[in-house]
Structure 1
Amino acid sequence: MWKRALDRAGVREPRLRRDYTEQRTAVRRFAAAEYAAARILLPAELLPHVVAAVAFMHDTDDRVDRGTPEDRAVALAEWDGLVRKALADGDSDLPVLRCLARTAACHPDVRGHVDEFLRGCEREVAWRTIVDEEELRQYVREYSLPALMLTACLLSPEDASQRTAFAEGCHLLIRAMQRIDFLEDLSEDVRAGRHGVCADAVARHGADLTRPDPALGRLVEEQADRAAADLTAATPLPTFVTPAYRPFVRALVGVQRLRLDAVRRAGPSLATRPSGPSAPAAALLLLREYARRIRD
C-alpha cells in the first residue's frame, strides 16, 4: 500500500521514495495511532504528504525543545535557515526537508503554513508560564494552530467561504486539543518546570499541581469543561471538507473526545501520572469510520 501511495502522490525518484519511507518509519514510531488513522482513512495520494508534514513538525519540536530558552532560540534560528533554504532550492541535505520541499511543491499552501509555524515556534521556545485565558488563546493562535495547519491545510476545501469556516473549525479544535494536551501531560510538565495550565485558574482553585487532591480535581474539571465546549463548537468541521476526507476528520474529533473522557476519569491523579484515550475505544472508532468510508 505504501508503494502505491508514493506512486499516486507522484513520488517516483528513488532517493525521494527512500526519504518519504524514512519519514513514514519515524511517524509510525512516535505517532502510531495518528499514522494508522491516516493510512486507513485518507486517500492514498495524500498519505505521503501528511507523513512529510507530521515528520517536519516533530523534527522541529525535537530540535527546539531542549536546553535553556537561549539554547532553544539558537537552535530555532539555525533550523529556520535550513528550512527556508530547502523550500527555496527545492532540495536539502536532510531527508525530512527534501520531503517537505516536495510536499510544498505539490501543495503550495504548505509553504505559507510552514512560515507561520516557524514564527510561532519563537513563542514556543520562549514561554515559561501561561498567565490566563487570553494568554492561552494567544499561544494557540500563534503556535498550536499553525502547527495543526501544516497537515490540516492538505485537507482544506477550495471554496473560499468553506476555507474560512474550515480554518475557524480547526482553531476551535486545536484550542481543545491544546488544553487536553496540557492536562494529559501535567505531571511530566510540572517536573520539567513548564506546565500549560493557566496560572490564574490554578490560583483560583488553590490547587497544588503536585498533589492529587480535591482542589486539583476541581481545576481539572473546569479545564475539561472548557475543552468540551470547544470540541462541541468544532463538531461541524467534517462537513467543510471533501467527502473523501470526512472519515479522517470525524475520527480526529472523536479521538479528542476519548482523550477528554480519559482526562475526566483521571481527575486529580493527573498530578502523578499522565492520561490517554482507551486503546480499544480508539481502535473501535477507527474501524467504525473505516467501515463507513468503504460503505459510502
Structure 2
Amino acid sequence: MHTWDTTLTTAGINEPALRHAYTRQRATVAGYRRHAYLAVRLLLPPALVPHVIAATAFMHHTDTALDTTTGGHDGWPAWETEVRTGLESGTGAHPVLRPLLRTITSHPQLRTHVADFLDGAPLERESTGFATESAYQKYVDAYSLPAFMLIASLLLSPDADPGASREVCRTYIDGSQRLDFVNDLSEDLRDGRLGLSDEALERHGTTRRDLERARDTTGTRALLRAELGQARRDLLAARRLVAFAPPGHRAFTRAVIALETLTAERALAAGTGLLRRPAGPPLAGALGVLAREYRRRGR
C-alpha cells in the first residue's frame, strides 16, 4: 500500500491546504465504512485514491445534510446553493467542497453526476417510505443511481459504452440500496422511515408494526428472504460491471461487489435478527476478499 502522502503527490495535489482538506476527508471515509476504505487504499491506483475519497466524502456529507436539522435550522438549502455556486465558479472554501472541485478538474465527467445528485435530493428529503415497488424504483433512478455514479464515473473506462455501463451500474445500486434498506430496518424504523414498500409488506402478510416490534413471524421471515434474495441476485448480476472498468480498476470493482454480496448473505443468515441490529460482512470473509484481489492485482 502506498503512503497517503504518496497518493496525494501522485494525484498532483501539492498545495498544503488542499492536501490537508483531502486528508480530513480521508478520516471521514475511513470511519464511515472501514472495509470500503481499505479496498480503496489497497486496490486502486494511487493517483485515483484521493479523488474517490473526495467523491465519497461529498456524497456522505450531502446525505447527512439532507437528513439533519439542528436546533430548528435546516442546513440543506445553504449547502445546495454552495455546491451549485462552486460548480459554476470552480471555487469553494468548504472543507468538503474544495477537494471535490479539485477532483472535478482532473475528472470533469464528475460535474454532471454531482448536478444529477443534487437534482434528486428533494425526493430523498421527502421520502419516508414507498407505497409500491414502482415508487421505490423511481427513488433508485432519481437519487440512488446518481449517488453511485459519483464513484462509478471515476472507475469506468473512458471508452465504456455509456448506455450499457449505466444499465449495469443501475443493477448494482438497485441491489445495494435494497440491501441497505433491509439491513438498516432497526435504525430506520426508530427514525420513522421504512425503505420497504407497503406493497411488499401486504404481499407477505406482515405489517409495519410487526417490523417495529421485531416480531419473528412467517410473514416477516418471508419478506426479509424475498427482499434480500432480490438484492443478492442484483449484486451477482452486477459483476458484469468489471468488464466496463480499465484493468487497474477491476480488482477494486470486484471487491466492492463481493463485499456487498457477503453482507447480503450475512443478512439472509440473520433472518429476523435484522429487526434488532444490522448485519455486516464476516470479518474473515471480507479480509479474504481484499487479500485475494490484492494478490490478483499484483499478478
Q: TM-score, normalised by structure 1?
A: 0.94
Equivalent residue number for residue 176 of structure 1: 175
- Aligned: 1:92 with 2:96: no
Tell me if the contact between 1:76 and 1:121 (Cα under 8 Å) persists in the aligned partners: no
Amino acid at match of 2:83: V
Tell me if the contact between 2:160 and 2:244 (Cα under 8 Å) persists in the aligned partners: no
Alignment of 1:234-249 (within 5 A): 234-249=238-253
- Aligned: 1:195 with 2:199: no
Amino acid at match of 1:103: T
Aligned counterparts of 2:216 and 2:257: Cα–Cα separation in 1: 29
Q: Which moved more, 1:284-293 or 1:200-209?
A: 200-209
Aligned counterparts of 1:21 and 1:27: Cα–Cα separation in 2: 10
Match of 1:250 among 248, 254, 271: 254
Q: Secondary structure at the match of 1:45?
A: coil
Aligned counterparts of 1:132 and 1:233: Cα–Cα separation in 2: 23
Aligned counterparts of 2:160 and 2:241: Cα–Cα separation in 1: 15
Tell me if the contact between 2:56 and 2:151 (Cα under 8 Å) persists in the aligned partners: yes
Equivalent residue number for residue 235 of structure 2: 231
Tell me if the contact between 1:123 and 1:139 (Cα under 8 Å) persists in the aligned partners: yes
Match of 1:280 among 272, 277, 284: 284
Superposed CA offset, 1:55-76 (max 9, x none): 11111111121249xx79x532
Tell me if the contact between 2:140 and 2:174 (Cα under 8 Å) persists in the aligned partners: yes
What is the deviation of 1:198?
Answer: 1.1
Equivalent residue number for residue 20 of structure 2: 18
Q: Which moved more, 1:245-254 or 1:127-136?
A: 127-136
Superposed CA offset, 1:181-232 (max 9, x none): 0111111111111010111111221222131222111100111121122123
Q: Secondary structure at the match of 2:50?
A: helix
Q: TM-score, normalised by structure 2?
A: 0.94
Equivalent residue number for residue 82 of structure 1: 82
Aligned counterparts of 2:290 and 2:188: Cα–Cα separation in 1: 29
Aligned counterparts of 2:149 and 2:295: Cα–Cα separation in 1: 27
Tell me if the contact between 1:110 and 1:154 (Cα under 8 Å) persists in the aligned partners: yes
Tell me if the contact between 2:185 and 2:274 (Cα under 8 Å) persists in the aligned partners: yes
What is the deviation of 1:234?
Answer: 1.2
Amino acid at match of 2:196: V
Equivalent residue number for residue 127 of structure 2: 127
Aligned counterparts of 2:81 and 2:284: Cα–Cα separation in 1: 43
Runs of 4+ displaced beyond 3 Å: none
Tell me if the contact between 1:214 and 1:268 (Cα under 8 Å) persists in the aligned partners: no
Aligned counterparts of 2:175 and 2:59: Cα–Cα separation in 1: 19
- Aligned: 1:185 with 2:199: no
What is the deviation of 1:160?
Answer: 5.0
Aligned counterparts of 1:96 and 1:79: Cα–Cα separation in 2: 11
Structure 2 residues not aligned, in runs of 5+: none
Amino acid at match of 1:44: P
Tell me if the contact between 1:130 and 1:197 (Cα under 8 Å) persists in the aligned partners: yes
Given the superposition, is the C-alpha separation of residues 136 and 109 from structure 1 closer, same or farther in structure 2, using an over 3 Å criterion?
Answer: same
Amino acid at match of 1:258: L
- Aligned: 1:215 with 2:214: no
Q: How many residues align?
A: 291
Superposed CA offset, 1:30-58 (max 9, x none): 12211100000000000000010011111
Tell me if the contact between 1:255 and 1:282 (Cα under 8 Å) persists in the aligned partners: yes
Tell me if the contact between 1:166 and 1:241 (Cα under 8 Å) persists in the aligned partners: no
Aligned counterparts of 2:96 and 2:160: Cα–Cα separation in 1: 31
Aligned counterparts of 2:76 and 2:95: Cα–Cα separation in 1: 18
- Aligned: 1:104 with 2:108: no
Amino acid at match of 1:252: V
Which one has a larger percent helix, Structure 1 or Structure 2? 1
